[in-house]
Amino acid sequence: MTLTLNVNGKSSTVTVSDGGMPLLWVLRDLLGLTGTKYGCGIEVCGACTVLVDGQPERSCDFDVSSAVGRKIVTIEGLSTNRSHPAQQAWIANQVPQCGYCQSGMLMAVAGAMNAGQHGANIMGEVNNLCVCGTYGRIKSACAKL
Ligand code: FES
Ligand code: FES
């Protein structure tokens, strides 16, 4: 089947064998947006987090057919020049270590900000996992948002 998706403000047409294909596969394998990562595949780690209509979703368990008519934003679309306040705070606090979890982490933080959270409250909305254990720096970065 052919589906039209709105990803990062652009309309993209994809052909999938099954509407139940995870949005993550479509983003990475069909649209080449590899900033969104695969971690656990079972909605636990958050590495695959994207925004759907402004709110964070685990794209590893989000049917692509459910994404039709919604606004999808990936890390590539969060800003064109790292100017999103969360990206700026991440840079200022040198948050990433290996970086694998960080795009999902940033999207979760951006989603919490969209929901009106600020400062320390942001972390209450973010339950993504970081194997490198950058939580202290994440907390410091969020404290300034
Ligand atoms: S890969 Fe989706 S939550 Fe871990
Ligand atoms: S920075 Fe390495 S997993 Fe989070």
30/65 same-domain check: yes
Distance 79 CA to ligand 1 centre (A): 22
Range(s) of the domain holding residue 103:
85-143
Confidence class of residue 90 from pLDDT cuts 50, 70 and 90?
very high
Q: What is the rounded CA–CA span in Å between residue 10 and residue 102?
A: 24
The last residue of a domain, from among 52, 77, 102: 77
Residue-wise pLDDT for 40-63, tens only, equals 999 999 999 999 999 999 999 999
pTM of the model: 0.97
The answer to whether residue 144 scores a pLDDT higher than 90 is no
Those residues whose C-beta lies under 8 Å from the C-beta of residue 50, and which sit 6 or more positions away, are: 23, 27, 36, 56, 57, 59, 72, 73, 74, 75, 107
Q: What pLDDT score was predicted for residue 109? A: 98
The last residue of a domain, from among 42, 77, 112: 77
65/103 same-domain check: no
Asked whether 105 lines ligand 1 (CB < 6 A), one says no
CATH number for the domain harbouring residue 101: 1.10.150.120
Which SS3 state, helix, strand or coil, does residue 13 take?
A: strand
Mean pLDDT of 135-141: 97
Distance 3 CA to ligand 1 centre (A): 23
Number of structural domains the chain divides into: 2
Distance 134 CA to ligand 2 centre (A): 7
Q: Nearest ligand to the C-alpha of residue 62?
A: 1
55/39 same-domain check: yes
Report which residue type is found at 6.
N
Which SS3 state, helix, strand or coil, does residue 68 take?
A: coil
